[in-house]
Structure formats: C-alpha cells, structure tokens
Amino acid sequence: MFRALFRTEIRGLENLPPPGTRMLIAPNHVSLIDGPLLHAVLPIDASFAVDTGIAKAWWAKPFLRVVKHYTMDPTKPLAARDLIKLVAAGEPVVIFPEGRITVSGSLMKVYDGTAMIADKADAVVVPVRIEGAQRSYLSYLNSSQIKRSWFPRVTVTILPPVKLPVDQALKGKARRNAAGAALQDVMIDALVKNAMLDHTLFEALGHAYRDRDTGKVIIEDALGTKLTYRKLILGAQVLSRKLEDGTAIGENVGVLLPNSAGVAVVFMALQNSGRVPAMLNFSAGPVNVLAAMKAAQVKTVLTSKAFIEKGKLDKLMTAISAEARVVYLEDVRASIGIGDKVKGLLAGTTPRVPRQANDPAVVLFTSGSEGTPKGVVLSHRNILANAAQALARVDANANDKVFNVLPVFHSFGLTGGMMMPMLAGIPIYMYPSPLHYRIVPELIYQTGATILFGTDTFLTGYARSAHAYDFRTLRLVIAGAEAVKDRTRQVFMERYGIRILEGYGVTETAPVLAMNTPMANRPGTVGRLSPLMESRLDPVPGIEEGGRLSVRGPNVMLGYLRAENPGVLEVLPDGWHDTGDIVSIDPAGFITIKGRAKRFAKIAGEMVSLSAVEAIAASLWPQAGSVAVSIPDQRKGERIVLLTTEKNAERSAMQAQAKAIGASELTVPATIMVVDKVPLLGTGKTDYVTATTMAREQASPPERVVA
C-alpha cells in the first residue's frame, strides 16, 4: 500500500545489523504514518515503544492492535526498565527519540530516556530518516510552512548503526545527560548525511521549488522587488542565456553587486549556465579587488550602473575596466524580449549546463584583514552541506523571515543569509548595507523578520539606535566574524529580551564551523563543531591549553587561488584546513577561541594573546572600539599597541584591570593610541593591516599617544 500510494523507496537495508544484535532503531518523527510505514518496510519483526498519550489516541489504536508495542512515558524513567530488558535480550525495538511529531519541520528535542535505554542495554543505535511524509496532510505542518500533497513521495533511509560514545566514568544523571547529548548528535548527523548533497545549487533550488514553495515571496529587497520561487527560477533561466555570451563553462565571472533580489537572480543564472560566480568585495578598494580578480583570472565582471553611481565606485570601476570586460545588467535587461521569456518558461527547472556536486560553485575571497585576499573555491557540495549543517542545528522554517544585512561577497552573507534560507523555503529580506544603524532596526520591525545574522560591531550599532519594540519579532540573533562582547549580550537581553547565539566560521568552511544553538548554548564559547566535521589541535609553543585548530568535513573548501599563481587551485593536504586559530575544546565539545596564531605577540619569549588585551580594554571601556596589534621592539622582540576610541584611555587603568582579573602584566599594552575610529573592513571585521600600519607610523616609547 505504501509503495503504491507514496511511491515509498527504502534505502540502506544492508545497514540493519544481523538478527540477535542488541539494537534500538531511532527514526525521526514527521507524520502520523511513520509508525505503520516502518512496520511495513522493515524486514524484521520489531517492537514499538509508544508514548502513553499517543497510545490512547483513537487513530493510533488500529495500528497498535497489529504490532508488538510497549507504552512508555518520557517523564517517568522507571517505565523504561522493561524496554531495557527487551533490548538487552536481542529484541529489536523502534523508539521515536523526539517523542512527538515535529511541528517545525526540523529535528525536535531528543529525550535522553531513549539514549539511556541504548546505553544500559549496551545496544547500538540504528538511525532512520523518513523524508517526504512531512508534506502529507497527516503531518503537523501547515500549508504556510511547507508545500503539501495528499500522497508525496516518501523515502526511508536506514543509516549504519552507531554505539553511543559515553564516558564510562560517568554515573547517574551526568551519564544520562551525556547519552542524551550523544543521541541528539547521532540524529543530527543522520539528518545531514541524508541531505541532498549530490546535487548542484541550481538543482537544489529546483527541489526547493517542488517541495517547499507555498506561494510566498521568497526574496524581497529594499527596492521593493519581490520574487517567488517561480519568478526567481524564470529570471535565472532567462538571464543565463544572456550571460553566456563572452564566457565559457567553468569560467570565473566577477559579480560586483549589493544585497538585492537582483544579486540572487544573477548568482543562480550563473549556476544555471555552468559559470562560477566570483563575488568581489566592492568595499575592499581597487588594489585588493584587482588582486582578487588576478587570483581567480576574472575576465568579465557583472555589475549595475545604478549601484556604481549610488555607491560612488567610479574609481574602482576605472581600475576594473582596465583589466576586464564590464557587463552592466541594465544593458542586459534591455536586450531581453518576449521570446527569451518564453524560452525561460519552457526550460522549467532543468539546468542549461549539467554540472557535478564537486565542481566549483563560487569563488569567495578572504577578507584581507591580515594580508592580500586569497580566492576560496567552494563546491556545490560544500555550500549544500553547510546549509544542511546549520539547518540541522537551528530550528527554522517557512514561518520565519531572514533579514540579511551581511553582503553576499561575505561567506556568512552568502550561505547563511541567502542560500540556506532560499533552499529551506525561508523568506529573505535583502538589505544593501549593514552600516545603516538607524534604518536596519526600523526595517526589521516593518518586515517582521525573525532571524538576524550580524557581527558584534553591527549588532552594537543597531542596539544603540533601535526602539525597544523594533526587535519584537526577532527570535534568533546569530553573531559571527568577531567575538561578541559581554556588553552586547547584556544590552540585547536586558533591553530586547533576546539571547545572542555566537558562532564561528571561516570562508574556507562555507562558512559555519561551529555555533551555539537554542538547545546547546554556552556563552563565552562559539559553540560545538558542525555535524560531520572532524577537528585536530596541533600544539603551539608557549600555549599550554588548547592548540592550533585544523578541520575536515563536507563543507571544507576545494582549495585556494592566489594572485602569485593565478588560476591554479591549491588543494588541501588530506582535506585538512588549518584555520590559524588557537582554541581549546571542553569535554562537551564547546570551542573557546583564544586568538589567531598571527594574533599572538611574542614578548621576551612569552606568547601573549592580542585578543586577551582587547578583552581587557572592552571590560574597561565597553562603549569604545579597541584593537590590539604588535609591532617590532628591539629590546623584547615585539610590543603591543592598543588603538582605542576611548578618549580618556590610560595605560595605568589597563594595568589595574589586568591585576584585578589576574591577567599577566604582559597583557598590558606598551602604548595606547587614541583614535577617532577603529579601522574596519566592509564585512565588519577589524582591518588589522591598516591598524598595524597606523601603530607603526605612530610608534613611540611606551606611553599614551593621540592619533
């Protein structure tokens, strides 16, 4: 019946352990048909653990009459004793660890009682993913959350069995909690493993249109442009034919555009035609932009006359025009006729140029905060994996709205702010500048946005300008790119009742490497590693706790492009990326960043974290911007210079604060420079190159100077 009505496909039957194995089968729970479906497709006679509340429901009773089942109450651990004995005796048991059908489309809370059963019975957990049934009218999702169907195609995937990694030394409640956290990770990993990673971005957009299009506007911008999935795909089909002229399949094509609905169409049009968007940072200045173009061998740049005029980028365009062909989208639009639109409509969601998941999908560029920008080549799989990793940890659906103020030349703005919500059916509002501190809060209020991505610098600016009611609809504020100050957290919580979730990303990991989540949040850390990622800490001389972090996983880039060797992909050794960050990882997996390897000063043989110096300054002067850099010193090797906007900053205050918190005397800067503003890049990150140059130019004996 299920094969006929739902065209059910079963994958991974070979992963089921042999009969007699102690096993607990753990599926996700998306609809009322999940239990009968598993009973029908599993080739073994398994018992079902059923919540006492569900067992009393009229619709469950017909199913329970024909299957072996045991009722259990998630709030009463003693009720699990019989199930532990059953599993320990080699009887396969099916338990839905969430204990309820999802109401968000994402993984719900996993009850640790299920994990306790597996742990005490010394059993393996067999993760099972049910996909498609959430679109049926027997799910708890409504038509505003997902595109519904009476008989959607359903896939049941059985993944390899896993033994919960629980420290044998743990006892009692601590062991139960650890087992529960381990099972939550198993379920999250299963979600990401089962995600559609073997597709291209344009194919993934087609799947999102098929499964998630509720008729809502998926992208809108400050110009009033509104695009549904249908309009976005049609626009990409029409534009792709026009952009093919003068470019070749696989060629890197420069994109110089602000956050708008238009940049989404251009990006997907290039994906459709097999070209690779190279996202140019228009705030980086001519020298860095030309270096980026040289690294990626960009010969064609797509931009807009209106944007160049409003952004006053004439000087930049003069430099670009000398090195590449410039295509203005206004001219392309004028050449589109009715015939082009008809062809685009007939093309549907079929890509014009077939590509593979491991082919390059985009070239982003490192910020240049510590030197010349490098090209970071991300594949389709990299971006799809990172979107799946983030969605597995963050509860978001089509009832949300992402306010994307981070530029799409920034990996956080591209993946987190545009691609992830676009592929998950979450509406997006694109705004061109994160620096409009008064306008952004008002637009968040007007649009009813629920999710905001930002940096500490930008969030602080919004908090200063926003009305207490402007953020009433926000439920998720996720910060990255720089450390979140305690003062910023405090303001958002006290004034707006919002908890900031801090994450950690680098362009090379597409970008989310770790993040705190509503279910696993530890302030002061950047959260736990993204699903399916591996980490390695290499020792650093002078650093006693932690080490230099390297990572590997499905979201780690294909490699670098450098201006010194244009167009040649520099692949990673064995897939490991050296982040250059010094971190520590606690037993629960939470990562604390101690600083960049390059952001440690070696003073008289001792390693001193410049981030620690900045933290002391922030605790003293929370309203000021401060950045610490190191410059050569003939006597001690290096010395620290603090640039700060605090007009009354004194070295003696830093000394007193360091002493009060038990910090080393070496964390007190040799020189304090009072500046009008701390140099920032367009992404909101500190511009350390400029800051170091300023410090060198003003170099003087240890004391306080005014720049």
Indicate which residues carry an active-site annotation: 29
CA dihedral 451, 455, 460, 462 (to 10 degrees): -40
Return d(Cα 80, Cα 84) in angstroms, integer: 6
Helices (H), 132-285: 172-193, 201-212, 229-243, 261-272
Task: Note whether 612 and 650 are within 8 A (CB).
Answer: no
Each residue of 249-277: b (16+ CB within 10 Å) or e?
A: eebbbbbbbbbbbbbbbbbbbbbbbbbbb
DSSP assignments along 249-303, one per residue: TT-EEEE---SSHHHHHHHHHHHHTT-EEEE--TTS-HHHHHHHHHHHT--EEEE
Return d(Cα 157, Cα 127) in angstroms, integer: 8
Return d(Cα 252, Cα 180) in angstroms, integer: 46
Task: Note whether 553 and 378 are within 8 A (CB).
Answer: no
- What does DSSP assign to residue 118? H
Beta bridge partners, 125, equal 24, 162
Q: What are phi and psi of 181, to 5 degrees?
A: -65, -40
For the chain, the first-to-last Cα distance in angstroms comes to 78
Closest CA to 307 of 298, 316, 294: 316
The Cα angle at residue 640 between residues 639 and 644, in degrees rounded to 5: 155
The rounded Cα 705 to chain-centroid distance in angstroms is 41
Rounded to 10°, the helix 201-212/261-272 angle is 120
